[in-house]
Amino acid sequence: MKNIFKVKVYFGDTDAAGIVFYPNFYRWMDQATAELVGCTIMPTSKLYSDRNILLPLLETHCQHRLPLFYEDIVEIHSEVTEIKNKVLKVEHTFKRNDEVVAFGYEIRAWTTKQEGRLKAVPIPEDVKEAFGYPVNH
């Protein structure tokens, strides 16, 4: 399952040079993952309220190829590319007019909150299937 999340660059997203300030790419990856999960399973707020599941970040990375500027429209193409027992990897490709400007990934744990602490638990088979990942892979 792939998802495309569109973002417009606002003046406040840029630095003094007029280029998107790099932390915004991480913010947009987080938003794109929430959209991907919402379209595939359910909104992340309901995932927590209905299933007691949170998806904290374990690792993230972004490689920048070209700058983005004020009023650019960027598409973030996101998909789950790897699922392990309790962890999933979401890859993101940032495109402006079909030109790749950056790409990155997030590694997230599938966790429940128990007694105020997060505990990683196995990702259910129906979730793996929803993301298009082969069962028993």
Given pLDDT bands bounded at 50, 70 and 90, which one contains residue 1?
A: confident
Rounded to an integer, what distance in angstroms lies between the CA atom of residue 100 and that of residue 92? Answer: 11
Tell me the per-residue pLDDT of 19-77, one tens digit each, with 9 for 90 and over.
Answer: 999 999 999 999 999 999 999 999 999 999 999 999 999 999 999 999 999 999 999 99
Q: What does the radius of gyration of the chain's CA atoms come to, in whole angstroms?
A: 16
Q: Give me 21's structure tokens.
A: 């300030």
pLDDT of residue 136: 56
Domains of the chain: 2-128 (3.10.129.10)
Q: CB within 8 A of 14, min separation 6: which ones?
A: 20, 21, 69, 70
DSSP H helix total and E strand total for the chain:
3, 8
Quick one: how far is CA 54 from the chain centroid? 13
Q: Please state the pTM of the whole predicted model.
A: 0.93
